Amino acid sequence: MSSGDTLVEVKDLKVEFDVREGIIKAVDGLSLTVKRGRTLGVIGESGCGKSMTARAILNMVPKPGKITGGEILYYRQVGGNGKPLITDVINITKLDPDGELIRQIRGGEIGMIFQEPMSSLTPVYTAGTHINEAVTLHRLIPIRKVGDQLVETIQAHRKVSKQEAREIAIEMLRKVGIPKPEQRVDAYPHQLSGGQRQRVMIAVALSCEPKMLIADEPTTALDVSIEAQILDLMRELQETVDMAIMFITHNLGVIAEMAEEIVVMYMGKQVEQASAVELFYEPQHPYTRALLQSIPHVGKKSRQRLASIAGMVPDPFHLPPGCVFHPRCSSFMPGKCDVIVPGWKQIGPNHWVRCLLYEEV
Amino acid sequence: MAQATTKGASETKKQVSQSYWSLVWWKFKKNKTAVVGGIILIVFYLCFVGLAEFLAPYSLERRSNYTEAPPQIIRFIDAQGKFHLRPFVYGLEKHIDQETRKRTFKEDPSRVYPIYFFVRREPYKLFGLFPTDIHLFGVDESDPAASIFIMGTDSNGRDYFSRILYGGRLSLMIGLLGQFLTLLLGCVLGVISGYYGGATDMFVQRTTEFLNAFPDIPLFMALAAAIPKHWSPVTVYFMLTIILAFVRWGGLARQVRGLILSLREREYVLAARSAGASDARLMFRHLLPGTMSHVIVIATLSIPGMILSETALSWLGLGLRPPLTSWGVLLQEAGTVYAIRYAPWLLWTIPFLLITILAYNMLGDGLRDAMDPYGGR
């Protein structure tokens, strides 16, 4: 893999929350690579640090959380159109969280879609205003943003009329498959359905043609038919604009459909990483196996109970020694798993796992 | 058939979902008390702020020989019991009380002054723009003794009705202006305090507590005493507005902060941030509009407090001073036992003040009910 392929590289990322009861390690030594135009899936239980990783990539870790270690490198390509491509390497963790550069990257180069389409749009602005805002913020360096004259700022940058700015918004809405975009552009969030709102969110995220889209459980709040539509839409758009996607979910069905490569996380650590096919057919880590077994299957005997992972997610303040998964593990080896911290081991050409089963100790 | 289709089409077109403000308006309209309050306020602001010169028969400082004259009642039926279509007033006649040697005035039914409408009198500028000299009503001034004081005169012989009209302008405007400044201060500081939290929040909140804990009147007195005496009345007026706003922003800032504390956790803030919005943009473009319905209600309900503060201060002699005339200044003249005993018409200011404050409260209550999405009835 050449470095020109790499878009975002997370190296040994640590995100910690310093709260009164102690320190929570939300993300503990995570490393992953997002390649241009490819889809990376991140799965894991609630609270395993998936969303925190996504937020860290945009340097938006909420207080009192802090990035305490590691680095996130963003390979920004400058040039093109005949000029030679120069790759700037930006370490996102070192940027001022409210600075000019990170604000350009947020939305402009790395877009993000959230879980809750119901509440991700500001209730007082129309769909068109949202799209125009995103566009405005990222066309060159904004000059002065004066009050409500969003449309006028676009004019300053791109020499487009008010009518044209509106047309951009309509075009974006049409792209994401909203019916009657000419009317919907003036609709307020409460006038749109959940699926439509999520589409508007996607339109906002895509309006600046980002190099990467972080989709943080984008379909959790939607029903299955809309979920399928949204996923189709994301794939379609990915093909047309050659955008990388980091797809975060706890829905294994969705990730099987979307991702080319999958990272499995547990308690802030990645426990297994493989291509989608390999992970689903030959899961190696006991946690991944357990996760896959807990998917309900159509056609199983109805009397059979659905498999679930034994035990509970451990208390973040009192993490078990050794492998954090050992109290719930079906292949628990006494004397080993509760003592030794497993390392990150490559077991195939594109398959890594963090488990003592694959280490000679 | 064709007709039916067109009808159907026009019906679907009409089916636009209601915006928040049209829902508020719809609910507000149903509350008769609030509508009455609103109408009263519109009429008052129009009369006192816009049309005071036109409605007042005399100018603010015009003195007559009739000092402390009682109100001249507008009559239609004369002493002989004859009905006149054109209303008239009786002339005033001087009496001297033999015991107290006090001059008083009484209506003299033998002198009848018909009231004329749209008369040309002292020139003025309507809305400060259009020079004109038409007043709503007046009496024929070719007779120098003719006068019309429908609410009597003060100790300088000035028409009290005209003075109430002019005084209302300052009193009503100080409420609005002061509230505007309060809004500005309260919203900006409240949003900053709620959004950043931590030390900023601590500082802003302790400041508001300090201002709230301070007894109002002594603080006003201290601040008002700091206004140099040689400043022009207009400057004093603006200073007073600023002082009122400065003391009162705390409550609003706290409410805004509370709302922002809950709003900032909403996903759309995160979404806007992830789209590259700066802190300032998040605060004032995404968060502040969410508090507006609340802020409008608080503002409406606290304007009366503003007006009363001005009145109280001026009454104490700390606020506006003559030649500026506000309702507080007028009340100061009425605030003696002598005035109440011998010139009770000087208390005419009070009903105007009361009605204004009642109207604001009625409007504010109505707005609160209308803007509360959970207040089902």
pLDDT digits (tens, 9 = 90+) for A143-156: 334 333 344 334 33
pLDDT at position B16 is 55
Contact between B113 and B137 under an 8 Å Cβ cutoff? The reply is no
Is B17 contained in some domain?
Answer: no
pLDDT at B373 over 60: no
pLDDT in tens, B215-259: 877 877 787 778 787 887 778 878 888 887 888 888 888 888 988
**pLDDT mean across residues, chain B:** 80
- Measured between CA atoms, how close is A76 to chain B, in angstroms? 17
Give the ranges where chain A is alpha helix by DSSP (H): 50-57, 100-108, 127-138, 150-158, 162-175, 181-184, 194-206, 224-241, 252-258, 276-281, 286-293
The answer to whether the Cβ–Cβ distance between B275 and A111 falls below 8 Å is yes
Is B33 contained in some domain?
Answer: no
For chain B, the domain total comes to: 2
**pLDDT > 90 fraction of chain A, expressed in percent and rounded:** 4
- Measured between CA atoms, how close is A294 to chain B, in angstroms? 30
Partners of residue B293 in chain A, C-beta under 8 Å = none
Query: Closest chain A residue to B291 measured between Cα atoms?
Result: A124
Partners of residue A119 in chain B, C-beta under 8 Å = 266-268
| Same-domain status, B151 and B198 | no
Q: Does B272 touch chain A (CB under 8 A)?
A: yes
Between A190 and A300, the higher pLDDT residue: A190
Question: Which of B22, B268, B286 to probe the A interface (max A CBs under 10 A)?
Answer: B268
User: What mean pLDDT is predicted for residues A297-302?
Assistant: 67
Q: Does B281 touch chain A (CB under 8 A)?
A: yes
pLDDT in tens, B156-201: 778 888 888 888 888 888 888 888 888 888 899 999 998 888 888 8
Neighbour-count burial of B82, counting CB atoms closer than 10 A to its CB (0-12 exposed, 13-18 middle, 19+ buried): exposed
Pair of tokens at residue B344: 């009770």
pLDDT at position B251 is 84
Is B6 contained in some domain?
Answer: no
**pLDDT > 90 fraction of chain B, expressed in percent and rounded:** 2
The answer to whether the Cβ–Cβ distance between A119 and B278 falls below 8 Å is no
| Same-domain status, B195 and B308 | yes
pLDDT at position A302 is 63
The answer to whether the Cβ–Cβ distance between A204 and B275 falls below 8 Å is yes
Q: What angle do CA A120, A125, A126 make, to 5 degrees?
A: 95
Pair of tokens at residue B283: 């605060």
pLDDT at A357 over 60: yes
Is B29 contained in some domain?
Answer: no
Of B267, B276, B281, the CB nearest to A108: B276
Partners of residue B281 in chain A, C-beta under 8 Å = 145
Is B67 contained in some domain?
Answer: yes
- Measured between CA atoms, how close is A336 to chain B, in angstroms? 43
Instruction: Report the SS3 class of residue B139.
Output: strand
Confidence class of residue A264 from pLDDT cuts 50, 70 and 90?
A: very high
pLDDT in tens, B40-51: 989 988 888 888
User: What mean pLDDT is predicted for residues B56-61?
Assistant: 78
Is B192 contained in some domain?
Answer: yes
Instruction: Report the SS3 class of residue B89.
Output: strand
Partners of residue A103 in chain B, C-beta under 8 Å = 276-278
Q: By mean pLDDT, which of A356-360, B28-32, B184-188, B296-300 is the weakest?
A: A356-360
Partners of residue B276 in chain A, C-beta under 8 Å = 103-108, 134, 137-138
Separation of alpha carbons B153 and B173, rounded Å: 24
Partners of residue B279 in chain A, C-beta under 8 Å = 98
pLDDT at position A41 is 92
Of B107, B129, B156, the position where a domain reaches its end is: B156
Is B34 contained in some domain?
Answer: no
Residues of A (283-342) whose Cβ lies below 8 Å from B: none
Separation of alpha carbons B187 and B368, rounded Å: 18
Instruction: Report the SS3 class of residue A342.
Output: coil
User: What mean pLDDT is predicted for residues A133-144?
Assistant: 58
Q: By mean pLDDT, which of A306-310, A332-336, B246-250 is the weakest?
A: A306-310
Separation of alpha carbons B233 and A56, rounded Å: 58
Any idea what the CATH number is for the domain that residue B224 is in?
Answer: 1.10.3720.10
User: What mean pLDDT is predicted for residues B196-217?
Assistant: 85
pLDDT at B263 over 80: yes
Element of type H or E holding A311 = none
Query: Closest chain B residue to A99 measured between Cα atoms?
Result: B278
User: What mean pLDDT is predicted for residues B295-324?
Assistant: 81
| Same-domain status, B185 and B143 | no
| Same-domain status, B135 and B198 | no
User: What mean pLDDT is predicted for residues B83-88?
Assistant: 82
Q: C-alpha distances in angstroms, B233 versus B48, B174, B321? A: 19, 14, 7
- At residue A176, φ and ψ (nearest 5 deg) are -85, 10
Question: Which of B274, B288, B291, B294 to probe the A interface (max A CBs under 10 A)?
Answer: B274
Of B156, B178, B193, the position where a domain reaches its end is: B156
Of B273, B278, B281, the CB nearest to A60: B273
| Same-domain status, B142 and B262 | no
- Measured between CA atoms, how close is A91 to chain B, in angstroms? 17
Between B169 and A361, the higher pLDDT residue: B169
Structural domains in chain A, sorted by start = 1-109+212-226+250-297+309-320 (3.40.50.300), 119-207 (no CATH)
The answer to whether the Cβ–Cβ distance between B277 and A137 falls below 8 Å is yes
- At residue B301, φ and ψ (nearest 5 deg) are -75, -20
pLDDT at B374 over 70: no
Partners of residue A108 in chain B, C-beta under 8 Å = 276
Contact between A175 and A181 under an 8 Å Cβ cutoff? The reply is no
Q: What angle do CA A205, B283, B24 make, to 5 degrees?
A: 90
| Same-domain status, B185 and B122 | no
- Measured between CA atoms, how close is A113 to chain B, in angstroms? 7
| Same-domain status, B357 and B221 | yes
**pLDDT > 70 fraction of chain A, expressed in percent and rounded:** 87
Identity of the highest mean pLDDT range in A113-117, A262-266, A306-310, B143-147: A262-266
Q: Does A119 touch chain B (CB under 8 A)?
A: yes
pLDDT at B128 over 80: no
Separation of alpha carbons B338 and B56, rounded Å: 27
Confidence class of residue A222 from pLDDT cuts 50, 70 and 90?
A: confident
| Same-domain status, B190 and B65 | no
- Measured between CA atoms, how close is B20 to chain A, in angstroms? 9
pLDDT at B327 over 60: yes
The answer to whether the Cβ–Cβ distance between B273 and A108 falls below 8 Å is no
Q: Which amino acid is at B262?
A: S
pLDDT at B6 over 50: no
| Same-domain status, B75 and B194 | no
User: What mean pLDDT is predicted for residues B278-306?
Assistant: 84
Of B100, B130, B156, the position where a domain reaches its end is: B156
| Same-domain status, B168 and B223 | yes
| Same-domain status, B122 and B195 | no
| Same-domain status, B64 and B145 | yes
Separation of alpha carbons B128 and B42, rounded Å: 19
Separation of alpha carbons B116 and A358, rounded Å: 108
User: What mean pLDDT is predicted for residues B60-73?
Assistant: 78
Q: By mean pLDDT, which of A185-189, A297-301, B134-138, B320-324 is the weakest?
A: A297-301
Domain around B89: 57-156
Q: Does A146 touch chain B (CB under 8 A)?
A: no
The answer to whether the Cβ–Cβ distance between B278 and A204 falls below 8 Å is no
Q: By mean pLDDT, which of A142-151, A350-359, B70-79 is the weakest?
A: A142-151
pLDDT at A36 over 60: yes
Comparing CA positions, the residue from A143, A61, A52 lying closest to residue A102 is A61
Q: Does A143 touch chain B (CB under 8 A)?
A: no
pLDDT at position B262 is 87
Q: By mean pLDDT, which of A172-186, A267-281, B18-32 is the weakest?
A: B18-32
pLDDT at position A79 is 56
Confidence class of residue B113 from pLDDT cuts 50, 70 and 90?
A: confident
Identity of the highest mean pLDDT range in B191-205, B307-321, B359-373: B191-205
Query: Closest chain B residue to A192 measured between Cα atoms?
Result: B17
pLDDT at position A262 is 92
Is B13 contained in some domain?
Answer: no
- List residues bridging with A77 in a β-sheet: A87
Confidence class of residue B2 from pLDDT cuts 50, 70 and 90?
A: very low
